[in-house]
A = this chain, B = another copy of it.
């Protein structure tokens, strides 16, 4: 098969090649901004190696010992938790420049699965390095704290979605967030190819896949988006934002 022919040779995967953050074009996403060149070079030590993860493979799984954070260089991941009786909850979708693995710090073991939704490459940042350099560089320390705080705030927002919002609002918020993050990475601000199935979107948003499908159809019929399988185009961002933030009904004084 074609894919086999183009597979990276085994020895390349999980290689020991050094990656220089200082010359990485995702620098401003992963690393603190406003660093001196000299400091930046020293921070290159955060990253030990890179690792490739094929579509469908686990970067880390529930119960794995925690050793490192991972900065996504290319590709797309989902993280999910599952409980005793096998129910799964997707807790996030992550793309280039985002950091995963923070869940492992508290118990020294990961409590979720990180699965590549497309062939991906990550920078391995041994957490011991992160902590050591954080002590030396206050700007890195602050950066790490912000990344963790951002994740806490994001999850607060998810609780609001899951606890209070209707299916259409959740999907609108999801699409707006996704396209905004893609746009920040140089992609279109209106078009995208989804990397996940309806079922995965549903799991993330606390809905069933049929509801996702129906809600896509509804938004499409209303002329707000165009959907063709994984391809989504936002025709009216304002309408989508209105669905997400419905104005409170005007009541008479």
What residues make up the interface of A, taking CB atoms closer than 8 Å to B? Answer: 81, 83-89, 91, 102-107, 111-112, 131, 134-136, 138, 141-142, 144-146, 148-153, 155-160, 162-165, 203-206, 245-248
Contacts and interface: CB of A to CB of B under 8 A. Distances in A.
Given A85-B245, A153-B106, A206-B164, A145 B131 contact: yes
Contact of A206 (B83, B148, B163): B163
Where chain A touches its partner, the secondary structure class is helix
A33 to B, nearest CB: 14
Given A106-B153, A145-B148, A91 B162 contact: no
Given A89-B160, A155-B159, A159-B91, A245 B103 contact: no
10 contacts: A83-B164, A87-B160, A88-B164, A89-B164, A102-B148, A135-B136, A159-B206, A162-B162, A162-B163, A164-B206
A87 B244 CA distance: 12
A88 B156 CA distance: 11
A212 to B, nearest CB: 13
A222 B111 CA distance: 33
B105 A146 contact: yes
